[in-house]
Structure 1
């Protein structure tokens, strides 16, 4: 499973002053990409080896719901890993509802200092925002790549994940408790999205 929320050292990543702008933009872009998924894509593979397009779409809906729930003080595991209640092709509608809830919960600046419960322990909201910006970015890239989309990546979306990625997930080790493949090296002057996904084991 290529899921940034399982990375053991992610909570050590230093937060920016207020990473919510990047988080909300990542949510918006993920919704745009999800809305463009078509029936002919559903059974296709994605760069995230554990997920087909259908499974990744379901998982993304689950993640946007989960970020709203834990931001409001709820339990991480109260939201299932897949949004199995959502029918094929209804992901964009379910996403919109989940994203609205997320925006409402995360609009309160006090959330940045509030403890957010994650499987390995509580982290400040500012750190959780970076963790989930990273997850939304990676899975949006996965889904876009699998469905032939080429979204425009906003620097505000990528700033926090790029600043945190080396500390969050070191180059070694990979596999086991670190759910990412070996680093795919890209030129230092490569686009920010290529540097990010390469570090997490994707081939840009």
Structure 2
């Protein structure tokens, strides 16, 4: 993968932050297409993921970084995610991190690949959140196309097993847009069809 994922990560994280800013307290218990997460748990995972990818760029141990933000109150998700997003974007600013080998919970890889994986994760979970909230904002299709390319490369369907955090690929509806194709590749289904 030769694309510099930093501008895409920044856009994906900004898109997630805008959507997180729309969440109301009464929506926190809603289900999401990520069946084990309600909205509150998804916000915790998005925030924890942004913190984790910042730790990676800062040279820390991503395996030790918690995948969930357990220290955020229900009214603090927008601020907590924004702080994590800004920290991650700043941490990845140096070119040296792109080719350095980093360690993630799912293996070692060049920083470029690791950050690309987090673009995919951020974009996918943003779609999950959007579905749970009734699609309040338009999502950037270019980000979904990039995430889908990463998903095809890093998560071939035939290699997924019970440890893979995404389900088996599903067929996308005919004429599906980029987000619906991404969701289908990662085993998700829109809530309206689930």
TM-score of the alignment, normalized to the shorter chain, above 0.5: yes
Distance 1:175 1:150 in 2: 33
Secondary structure, counterpart of 1:134 in structure 2: helix
Q: CA RMSD in A?
A: 1.8
Residue 112, structure 1, aligned to residue 98, structure 2: yes
Q: TM-score, normalised to structure 2's length?
A: 0.89
Partner of 2:26: 40
SS in 1 for 2:63: helix
Is the contact between residue 22 and residue 156 of structure 1 (CA under 8 Å) also seen in structure 2? no
Unaligned runs of 5+ in 2: none
Contact 2:141 2:179 in 1 (8 A): no
CA distance change for structure 1 residues 44 and 98 in 2, over 3 Å: closer, same or farther? same
| Pairwise CA distance, 1:84 | 1.2
Residue by residue, what CA displacement relative to the aligned partner does 1:117-167 show, whole Å, maximum 9, x if unpaired?
A: 112332111101110001001111111111112433324423432222223
1:151–1:109 distance in 2 versus 1, CA, 3 Å: farther
Instruction: For structure 1, list consecutive stretches of 5 or more residues without a partner in the other structure.
Output: 1-14
Contact 1:184 1:198 in 2 (8 A): yes
Q: What TM-score does the superposition give when structure 1 sets the normalisation length?
A: 0.85
- How far, CA to CA, are the matches of 2:117 and 2:101 in structure 1? 14
* Greater RCO, 1 or 2 (C-alpha within 8 Å, sep 6+): 1
Assess if the C-alpha contact under 8 Å between 1:86 and 1:94 holds in 2.
yes
Q: Does residue 1:103 correspond to 2:103, yes or no?
A: no
